[in-house]
Chain A
Amino acid sequence: MRLSETTDSLAGAPPLETLNYLTDGTTVMSWVNTRDHKRVGVMFLAAVLVAFFLGGLFALTLRMKLLQPGPFLMDALSYNRLFTLHGVVMIFLFLIPAIPGAFGNFMVPLMIGARDVAFPRLNLASFYLYLLGAAIAIWGMVHGGADTGWTFYTPYSSTTPTQVLPILLGVFVLGFSSILTGLNFIVTVHTLRAPGLNWMRMPLFVWGIYGTSIIQVLATPVLGITVLIVAVERFAGFGMFDPARGGDPVLYQHMFWFYSHPAVYIMVLPAMGVISETVCTFSRKNPFGYRAIALSSLGIAFVGFFTWGHHLFVAGQSTFDAGAFGLLSMLVGIFTAIKVFNWVGTMYRGAIKFTTPFAYICGFLYFIVFGGMTGIALATTSLDIHWHDTYFVVAHFHFIMVGASVMAFLAALHYWFPKMFGKTYSEGWGLVAAALIILGFNATFVPQFLLGNYGMPRRYYQYPDHFQALNVASTAGSTLLGFGFLIILIYLVIALRWGARCTQNPWGSKGFEWLSASPPPTHNFDEIPTITQMPHDYRTHEPPGVIRVS
């Protein structure tokens, strides 16, 4: 075997088990200038968590305002800015980079038996682009903020006097970060798989990330050019989407959703990957229908590109287009359905242990079925006419974005926390927080479905009085949700500092990422493993902490 540069320099240093990627170099520089995919992953994790709490704070403030139908707490302009920021921060700073940036970076090389991602420098650059994009966007927020909503619909976005430009530029830069992350993963998966790890043995999380990366690479540039045109329109009046100059504002919507609908799958495919891994570990069972789960990730990535028009059913698109996009949207739902059935199937004849991550899996399953099927319902064209741009849509996509993606993010955080930091957290508090979150989530968003049915449009600062009761219920739920997240933050910080040292494989998992030490050393493996079996093969029992691979 070949030794890496790092191990060469370690001759005479402390023994390898005690020196992991966290302790191997503790200066600030060793983090800032790291090439280690694990450190980049950890930095991403810290950054997206900050973004998540920021976005969550915005959301809670918005919900507080909505306690009252009339003006309350803030004026209309502040409210509009705040929901724009909530959307931009949650989508571009949290959901899109969260699982790929944090857990993808950390786990993918470990799972495929590689020492790093294909382009470690590019990986670090992707993180700094993320920071730069975030900085530009936050600068814009501080200096006035935008009031366009995260969708930046023209001609409103090209005429409003607020600071849209920095937010657009921030989104453009963040897009580049996302492209680089995706590109890196595709190349990594293609070229750095360990010997014996053929495509049909690849862990399902890697399949999820692979599908995500394809979307990131193919869709994000279109968002880039779209926001760039809007930016040019704002500061130079080129009029590409300006009806007064012959432009077509609906063209903007087409171009925007060409990215932003696949972007939903950027947010949810990695989440599905997480569930595929965790459901196997906690059911101690091989994935039921491995091929179906793996290939449906690619199916979603592919079909997801042809459904964007279902955001334009009432926007003056032709009836034929609406039909075509509606029909294609039905197909996307099928791939998700396949996954859901196979996850449930995985539990069949397993050996299920109820843990904090498993609580989130249960939440995820329920939310994705309900959220997904309401999504299909929205795509049935005629029902969308009543629901479009109401709270029904808001509730639907929060079921997917929070109910599925954030639940999976939390499952991943709890499942891989011992892997990443070698510490254990309080299982009791974990379950309390999970219960609070799942309960609070339902209490927040089920009333919003009903509000949508009732006819309350989204992005409403004031609303007719008869919507108040449901709004109050939703706000009450959101405080529960907020408490849940706060508890998680507290016990994880405590665990990080004072948590007990965990064993190498505390869950007894046979996922490939557990082949390395926990936390892994900088070079991941002393010897690159040779893979001779599928992941999560629980037919034989090995003592915890050891996985036989060859």
Chain B
Amino acid sequence: MSHEADALGLPRGILAHHFSSLERQNEAMRLGMWLFLATEILLFAGLFTGYAVYRFQFPLAFQEASRHLNITLGTLNTVVLITSSFSVALSIFYARTDRPRAAALCLVVTLLFALAFLGVKAVEYAEHFHEHALPGKYYAYEAVKVPGAAMFYTLYFLMTGLHGVHVVAGMSVLSWLLWRTLQGRYSSRYYTGLEMGGLYWHLVDLVWIFLYPLLYLI
């Protein structure tokens, strides 16, 4: 336990012994988080590359298959996710203005939005299963028979699937942050943890903002 942390009256264990000041530590955490987000983007970049290559190879199939996705549900999900990004930002705002209960409430709202997103996605998936609009060798969708359509669904499932995994990961992070917020860890003096969680959630949102037009609109 650092003396400086004591002097600031921070809860135990927030300032690690090897950092000279809290600012330094926050700076380190932010840098670390941004680097981590960069790796996440590069993880998706592999799939975006695949999308670009196969869209170029099968332009018709991608157009056709994309038209058969449910744009209403896709748009709804986009709205849901953007709103949830807003509520997470709001929760950080409340935390740094020392309103922990409001911050916690906002996190709960975010989690509910995330659940709603997954719910809508599940409905969409169920539809695809029903129509046999499935990737690779399982593809047997009657409506789109253009070759390359199976590849569209391969990418669709890989991209939304990986994004879905990130939504679930983000939800676990947010739940943990909710727990810590309720414990009163975050205040105007220290809210970096919450900020990091928020950044992660924004990334999840951002990836979807790219997926949505690529898969549903164009």
Q: Interface SS of chain A: helix, strand, loop or mixed?
A: helix
Are A239 and B147 touching (Cβ within 8 A)? no
B32: chain A residues at CB < 8 Å are: 118-119, 122, 183-184, 187
- Measured CA separation A225–B4 after assembly (Å): 43
Does B49 belong to the interface (CB within 8 Å)?
yes
Pick from B24, B42, B47, B154: contact of A218, CB under 8 Å: B42
User: Which residues of B from 1 to 59 have beta carbons under 8 Å from A?
Assistant: 1-4, 16-20, 24-25, 27-28, 31-32, 35-36, 38-40, 42-47, 49-50, 53-54, 57-58
- Measured CA separation A122–B150 after assembly (Å): 40
Are B151 and A116 touching (Cβ within 8 A)? no
Does A242 belong to the interface (CB within 8 Å)?
yes
Are A187 and B39 touching (Cβ within 8 A)? no
B46: chain A residues at CB < 8 Å are: 221-222, 224-226, 229, 255
User: Which residues of A from 117 to 150 have beta carbons under 8 Å from B?
Assistant: 118-120, 122
Type the 1/0 row for A227-242, where 1 means its CB is closer than 8 Å to any CB of B. 0010011001111101
Total A-B Cβ pairs within 8 A:
134
Are B39 and A237 touching (Cβ within 8 A)? no
Are A221 and B40 touching (Cβ within 8 A)? yes
Does A23 belong to the interface (CB within 8 Å)?
no
Pick from A186, A191, A221: contact of B43, CB under 8 Å: A221
Task: Give, as a whole number of angstroms, the nearest-CB distance from B154 to chain A.
Answer: 5
Does A192 belong to the interface (CB within 8 Å)?
yes
Does B184 belong to the interface (CB within 8 Å)?
no
Pick from B18, B53, B138, B155: contact of A192, CB under 8 Å: B18
Does A5 belong to the interface (CB within 8 Å)?
yes
Does B212 belong to the interface (CB within 8 Å)?
no
Are B138 and A237 touching (Cβ within 8 A)? yes
Given contacts A2-B2, A191-B31, A246-B57, contact A120 B18 (CB under 8 A): yes
- Measured CA separation A3–B44 after assembly (Å): 44
A109: chain B residues at CB < 8 Å are: 18
Pick from A4, A116, A224, A229: contact of B158, CB under 8 Å: A229
Pick from B19, B49, B58: contact of A246, CB under 8 Å: B58
Are A217 and B38 touching (Cβ within 8 A)? yes
Does B213 belong to the interface (CB within 8 Å)?
no
Given contacts A5-B1, A246-B57, contact A239 B42 (CB under 8 A): no
Does B164 belong to the interface (CB within 8 Å)?
no
Does B157 belong to the interface (CB within 8 Å)?
yes
Does B170 belong to the interface (CB within 8 Å)?
no
User: Which residues of A from 358 to 396 have beta carbons under 8 Å from B?
Assistant: none
Given contacts A4-B18, A237-B138, contact A217 B35 (CB under 8 A): yes
Does B148 belong to the interface (CB within 8 Å)?
yes
B54: chain A residues at CB < 8 Å are: 246-248
Does A245 belong to the interface (CB within 8 Å)?
yes
Q: Which 8 A-B pairs have the closest CB atoms?
A: A225-B46, A239-B136, A115-B18, A221-B42, A4-B17, A237-B137, A116-B18, A191-B28
Q: Which residues of A contact B (CB under 8 A)?
A: 2-6, 109, 114-116, 118-120, 122, 179, 183-184, 186-188, 190-192, 217-222, 224-226, 229, 232-233, 236-240, 242, 245-248, 251, 255, 523, 528
What are 5 A-B contacts defined by CB distance under 8 Å?
A: A190-B27, A191-B24, A245-B137, A246-B54, A251-B49
